[in-house]
């Protein structure tokens, strides 16, 4: 990259052209438009790879509106991007839109009055039956079925408005995104990338299909992956059921799922449980259904839970699946995908009374079937007592509101370490490989690494990527149909890379024609889609041009940093590492920055589902973008922060102070009409001292940013700036004005140069946090953008300035002189007729150096005495105040 834009500039500039009255209002519109017109944040594509800093920006979900949590975390990324840009990096900062998913599907169904049927053909120029308010009242049964391609087009149409609103908010916030680089997770390019990556997984044996029991959401009618689970408390009841042994004795088990009694395949107890060892190898009869089932031993049975012996059904929970698989039990599923019991009486229920009972339950919901079976158990006196209420932790789909069931279905998986995997004929431990990848990745903060490692080590299944939904990327597959008309799922047909993207319900596999669809000897389409993480896990490839712009891809991949929330380490971060490891045998980025959560005043996480979120545009308009950014940047990575408008008010005061102090400091030299940035002009000790302090700030802030600690950089800079305005500026402003000519011009010029140098430095240190106010100040006296200016270095102050401690002593003395007026509740302009300060002996000489500055700053008209004393800081020993100045009428 050419570094011409960061080349040193002249030491003097024309006097600042500041407005008569500065204001933080309206800066967003003024500078946002300017940045867009001038291409301030355009990525420099010609930059060499070593000069590139690339960001795998999180694509926000486009379904509704952004909330203040987005503003919080995206600000963290933006301050980093701005720092790196000022450090000479060509910053690649794209924006994506995650616009596929369940919420969008529901909105489209209600808005347009349609529903997706992936078996239907595409209809050109389709016009939906309803639009807007009318469509919201259309019942599901009355929604018009349309093809997947038509449905996706409507989804894209509805999300387009959301994307425009999101972009408008991001621009108002001041994100320095290059808007030439945007993508959608369901656009044509995203579909091509996702399908190509999947086909690569399939070819290498990393993707496979299996008919197996898995977690299922009965509301959304889709399989759910381990990463999408959310454990929640759920009310239920324990029921004590009586099984009978072959010799007529009772065996009592406790269950919260009596409706699954017809699916019972065994009773299981721990092999060391002495209570049941005599039953192992025998059979018992299930109550009311009268089906004989074995009593078996398994170490996963919990001796101290309930009766210590459990009913194994196919399937009530994950443990049932484990027992079924490891004990080779029969499959007796009775639960359908819609959450209702099978309509036909299962063939294994042969008892007449049992079959009659099942007929009363057939086709009913689990709730209704439970009621029916409990009543039958009570009538037969095969349930002890009444059901006992309990609260239990149950798995939910993170977007669902009903407990997940376990249903057997054919699904597609990608290997992620959940099972053994043989690559190239040799055994490999994929889980250990992925743990090692996590150790290579630099986490910020580092303690977030353990969340990744715990997740990988705790995996017990591979990544289920197929979903029985519609608005997503199609699995690019077809299957042969035998001559007898059966679908042979083992004969998988795949497209050529040049065909991608494909919609199997519309497109044909190579070598087939449309008239062979769904007929004997022909083919049928895979109608499932990939889950949303299967596409989002490829954001580094979508953003950098994989399969689209190979030169750009080589320059940008692997990327520099992935910023994201802590709650999706197990999903987005992990899945992206998996895909990159499998496809390229490398990490997708060098760093991962993890933001915390926003908490409401009750210390609860803000989320749309809880209804406690705050929409950000009102905050940005009320306080100003710089102020809201200040609040966000005040929170460290990985740390939860409370939503706090008071902190935003502090940020606004800081932005206004930057404007006012800068105007004062940059408009001092009326005689030469120049802003002097020449450190050689800084000759006075206290002026050198402020530069010495500033040099330390520059070093510390830079080190903090390089360590991905933006909050520390802000704290250091802000603390210095307030001391500068409250102490140093007040101390030297009379010398800088030098109205009466009591100081030699060299000393006055020293103050003016120091003031200008400080502002010229601080405005750049604060630019990543307060981009609008900083740009406004910069425009008063310099060409170009502060955001393309060089990050400050200590070299700008000439020879290493010394004497930083002098400024601290001066501040103590000034504070002591001010304090007597504030305590007397008189005007700061009230003259001090006499003041005796007790001063540490080593500091007396320092104060003598700045005596005149102190006298003018504190309006000391009489004697000012510095007495050496055994004190740690400057103290007022005695004083005498004059008459306060008359108030203006």
What's the distance, CA 356 to chain centroid? 54
**Residue range 115-131: average pLDDT?**
89
Closest residue by Cα to residue 213 from 142, 152, 175, 263: 263
Together in a domain, 623 and 668: no
Together in a domain, 706 and 795: yes
- Strand ranges in 783-843 using DSSP code E only, listed in sequence order: 832-840
Q: Answer yes or no: is 467 within a domain.
A: no
Find out whether 324 and 213 touch, Cβ atoms under 8 Å: yes
Together in a domain, 761 and 842: no
Helix (H, G, I), strand (E, B) or coil at 631: helix
**How do 90-92 and 52-54 pair as beta strands?**
parallel
- Sequence-distant (≥ 6) Cβ neighbours of residue 3 within 8 angstroms: 88
Residue linked to tokens 């229920």: 349
**Residue range 639-650: average pLDDT?**
91
Find out whether 852 and 743 touch, Cβ atoms under 8 Å: yes
Together in a domain, 316 and 339: yes
Residue after which a domain boundary falls, among 400, 433, 451: 400
Q: Answer yes or no: is 866 within a domain.
A: yes
Together in a domain, 713 and 570: no
Together in a domain, 308 and 383: yes
Q: Answer yes or no: is 284 within a domain.
A: yes
Helix (H, G, I), strand (E, B) or coil at 421: strand
Q: Answer yes or no: is 479 within a domain.
A: no
The total number of structural domains in the chain stands at 4
- Token pair belonging to 657: 């102070």
Q: How far apart are CA 625 and CA 769, in angstroms?
A: 10
Q: What is the CATH number of the domain that holds 370?
A: 3.90.740.10
Helices (H), 426-549: 430-440, 449-457, 532-536, 539-544
pLDDT in tens, 3-30: 445 555 666 777 678 888 999 999 999 9
Residue after which a domain boundary falls, among 580, 614, 641: 641
Q: How far apart are CA 279 and CA 282, in angstroms?
A: 5
DSSP H or E run through 417:
none
Alpha-carbon separation of residue 619 from 65, 275, 571, 606 (angstroms) = 14, 65, 31, 16
Q: How high is the pLDDT of residue 681?
A: 93
pLDDT higher than 90, residue 223: no
Residue 520, exposed/middle/buried by CB under 10 A (0-12, 13-18, 19+)?
Answer: exposed
pLDDT band at 2 (very low <50, low <70, confident <90, very high): very low
DSSP H or E run through 482:
none
Q: How high is the pLDDT of residue 612?
A: 57
pLDDT in tens, 740-776: 889 999 999 999 999 999 999 999 999 999 999 999 9
Tell me the whole-structure pTM to 2 decimals: 0.84
- Token pair belonging to 486: 């059966």
Together in a domain, 764 and 691: yes
Beta bridge partners of 839: 868
| Residue 608 is assigned to a ligand binding site | yes
Closest residue by Cα to residue 218 from 396, 373, 362, 392: 396
Q: How far apart are CA 677 and CA 694, in angstroms?
A: 14
Q: How high is the pLDDT of residue 307?
A: 87
Q: Answer yes or no: is 56 within a domain.
A: yes
Average pLDDT of the chain is 90
Domain containing 699 equals 1-24+644-802
Together in a domain, 256 and 378: yes
Beta bridge partners of 52: 90
Q: What is the CATH number of the domain that holds 652?
A: 1.10.730.10
- Token pair belonging to 802: 């010394």
Residue after which a domain boundary falls, among 641, 673, 702: 641
Q: Answer yes or no: is 760 within a domain.
A: yes
Q: Answer yes or no: is 576 within a domain.
A: yes
pLDDT higher than 70, residue 706: yes
Together in a domain, 246 and 321: yes
Own/partner pairs for 668-672, CB < 8 Å, 24+ apart?
Answer: 668/736, 668/737, 668/751, 668/752, 668/755, 668/756, 669/15, 669/749, 669/752, 670/15, 672/15
Closest residue by Cα to residue 507 from 105, 191, 104: 191
Together in a domain, 262 and 384: yes
Together in a domain, 867 and 729: no
Q: How far apart are CA 542 and CA 535, in angstroms?
A: 9
Together in a domain, 636 and 664: no
Residue linked to tokens 């700053």: 857
Q: Answer yes or no: is 690 within a domain.
A: yes
């Amino acid at each position: 990259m050419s570094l011409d834009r960061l080349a040193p500039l002249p030491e003097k500039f024309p006097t600042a052209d500041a407005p008569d009255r500065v204001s933080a209002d309206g800066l967003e519109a003024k500078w946002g438009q300017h940045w867009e017109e001038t291409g301030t944040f355009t990525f420099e594509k010609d930059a060499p790879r070593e000069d590139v800093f690339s960001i795998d920006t999180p694509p926000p979900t486009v379904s509704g509106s952004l909330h203040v949590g987005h503003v919080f975390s995206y600000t963290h990324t933006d301050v980093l991007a701005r720092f790196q840009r000022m450090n000479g990096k060509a910053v690649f900062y794209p924006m994506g839109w995650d616009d596929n998913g369940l919420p969008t599907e529901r909105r489209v169904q209600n808005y347009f009055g349609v529903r997706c049927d992936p078996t239907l053909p595409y209809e050109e120029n389709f016009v939906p039956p309803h639009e807007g308010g009318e469509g919201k009242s259309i019942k599901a049964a009355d929604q018009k079925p349309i093809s997947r391609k038509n449905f996706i087009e409507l989804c894209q149409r509805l999300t387009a408005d959301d994307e425009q609103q999101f972009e408008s908010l991001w621009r108002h916030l001041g994100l320095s995104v290059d808007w030439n680089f945007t993508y959608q997770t369901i656009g044509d390019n995203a579909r091509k990338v996702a399908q190509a990556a999947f086909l690569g997984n399939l070819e290498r044996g990393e993707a496979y299909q299996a008919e197996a029991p898995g977690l299922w959401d009965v509301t959304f009618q889709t399989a759910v992956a381990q990463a999408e689970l959310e454990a929640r408390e759920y009310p239920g009841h324990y029921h004590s059921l009586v099984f009978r042994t072959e010799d007529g004795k009772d065996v009592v088990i406790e269950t919260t799922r009596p409706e699954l009694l017809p699916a019972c395949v065994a009773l299981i107890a721990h092999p060391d449980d002495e209570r049941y060892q005599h039953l192992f190898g025998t059979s018992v009869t299930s109550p009311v259904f009268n089906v004989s089932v074995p009593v078996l031993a398994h170490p996963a049975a919990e001796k101290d839970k309930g009766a210590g012996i459990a009913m194994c059904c196919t399937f009530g929970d994950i443990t049932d699946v484990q027992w079924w698989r490891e004990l080779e039990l029969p499959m007796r599923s009775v639960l359908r995908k819609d959450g209702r019991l099978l309509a036909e009486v299962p063939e294994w229920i042969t008892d007449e009374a049992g079959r009659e009972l099942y007929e009363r339950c057939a086709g009913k919901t689990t709730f209704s079937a439970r009621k029916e079976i409990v009543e039958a158990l009570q009538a037969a006196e095969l349930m002890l007592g009444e059901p006992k209420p309990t609260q239990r932790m149950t798995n939910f789909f993170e977007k669902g509101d009903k407990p997940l069931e376990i249903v057997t279905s054919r699904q597609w998986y990608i290997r992620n370490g959940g099972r053994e995997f043989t690559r190239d004929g040799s055994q490999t431990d994929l889980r250990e490989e992925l743990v090692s990848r996590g150790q290579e990745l630099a986490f910020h903060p580092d303690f977030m690494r353990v969340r990744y490692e715990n997740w990988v080590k705790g995996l017990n299944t591979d990544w289920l990527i197929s979903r029985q939904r519609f608005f997503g990327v199609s699995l690019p597959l077809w299957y042969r149909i035998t001559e007898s008309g059966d679908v042979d799922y083992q004969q998988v047909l795949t497209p050529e890379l040049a065909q991608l993207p494909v919609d199997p319900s519309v497109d044909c596999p190579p070598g087939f024609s449309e008239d062979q669809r769904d007929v004997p000897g022909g083919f049928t389409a895979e109608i499932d889609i990939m889950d949303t993480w299967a596409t989002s896990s490829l954001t580094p490839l979508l953003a950098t041009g994989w399969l689209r712009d190979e030169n750009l891809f080589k320059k940008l991949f692997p990327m520099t940093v992935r910023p994201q929330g802590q709650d999706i380490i197990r999903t987005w971060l992990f899945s992206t590492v998996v895909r990159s490891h499998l496809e390229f045998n490398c990490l997708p980025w060098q760093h991962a920055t993890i933001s915390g959560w926003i908490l409401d005043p009750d210390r609860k996480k803000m989320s749309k589902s809880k209804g406690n979120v705050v929409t950000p545009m009102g905050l940005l308009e009320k306080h100003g973008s710089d102020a809201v950014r200040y609040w966000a940047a005040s929170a460290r990575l990985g740390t939860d922060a409370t939503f706090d408008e008071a902190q935003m008010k502090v940020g606004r005061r800081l932005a206004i102070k930057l404007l006012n102090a800068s105007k004062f400091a940059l408009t001092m030299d009326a005689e030469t009409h120049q802003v002097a940035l020449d450190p050689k002009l800084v000759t006075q000790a206290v002026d050198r001292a402020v530069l010495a302090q500033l040099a330390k700030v520059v070093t510390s802030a830079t080190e903090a940013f390089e360590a991905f600690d933006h909050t520390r950089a802000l704290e250091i800079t802000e603390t210095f700036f307030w001391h500068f305005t409250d102490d140093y500026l007040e101390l030297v402003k009379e010398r800088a004005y030098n109205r009466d000519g009591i100081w030699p011009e060299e000393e006055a010029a020293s103050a003016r140069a120091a003031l200008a140098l400080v502002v010229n430095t601080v405005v750049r240190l604060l630019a990543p946090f307060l981009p609008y106010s900083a740009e406004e100040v910069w425009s008063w006296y310099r060409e170009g953008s502060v955001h393309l200016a060089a990050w400050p270095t200590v070299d700008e102050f000439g020879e290493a300035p010394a004497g930083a401690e002098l400024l601290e002593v001066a501040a103590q003395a000034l504070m002591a002189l001010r304090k007597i007026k504030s305590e007397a509740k008189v005007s700061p302009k009230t003259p001090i007729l006499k003041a005796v300060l007790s001063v540490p002996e080593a500091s007396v000489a320092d104060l003598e150096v700045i005596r005149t500055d102190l006298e003018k700053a504190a309006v000391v008209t009489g004697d000012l005495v510095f007495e050496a004393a055994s004190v740690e800081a400057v103290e007022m020993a005695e004083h005498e105040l004059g008459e306060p100045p008359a108030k203006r009428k």
